[in-house]
Amino acid sequence: MNTPNKWVIITLKSMSNSDQGQRKTDCTDKRNCLEMLQLILDGEATPEQKANFKSHIDECMPCFQHYHFDQAIKELLKLKCTSQAPTDLIESIKSKISEKPIY
């Protein structure tokens, strides 16, 4: 049964103007922050790592925005990707994989 695609509206946590003014506009540790963000979103961060990141995003606008955007995307995917793929698609993919030589 095919269901029509529906638009999903994602609302990010809004901030007051005073909250925005208190956060820095550039992250000085982007790489580590993005790695920590992925650990948190994947449920692999320790409680200490979560607390440290929470303190960081309270002060860093780019990381705050990345966190809430990525969290919304994850929730959207969880909501929309709950059904099984069609059997013919699964078989087609398996067939193509088995045709490829392994090096």
pLDDT digits (tens, 9 = 90+) for 20-30: 557 788 888 88
Above 80 in pLDDT, residue 5? no
- Three-state secondary structure call for residue 56: helix
Task: Please enumerate, as own/partner, the contacts of 39-48 that have beta carbons within 8 Å and a separation of 24 or more.
Answer: 40/67, 41/70, 41/71, 41/74
* pLDDT tens-digit series, residues 56-89: 999 999 999 999 999 999 888 888 877 788 889 8
Among 2-11, 44-53, 89-98, where is mean pLDDT lowest? 2-11
Q: What band does 3 get if pLDDT is binned at 50, 70 and 90?
A: very low
Q: At 67, is the secondary structure helix, strand, or coil?
A: helix
Please name the residue that has the structure tokens 């193509």: 96
- Provide the pLDDT for residue 100: 66
Distance CA 67, CA 37 (A): 7
Q: For residue 90, what are its two tokens?
A: 């699964």
Give the residue from 41, 31, 44, 46 showing the smallest Cα distance to 78: 41
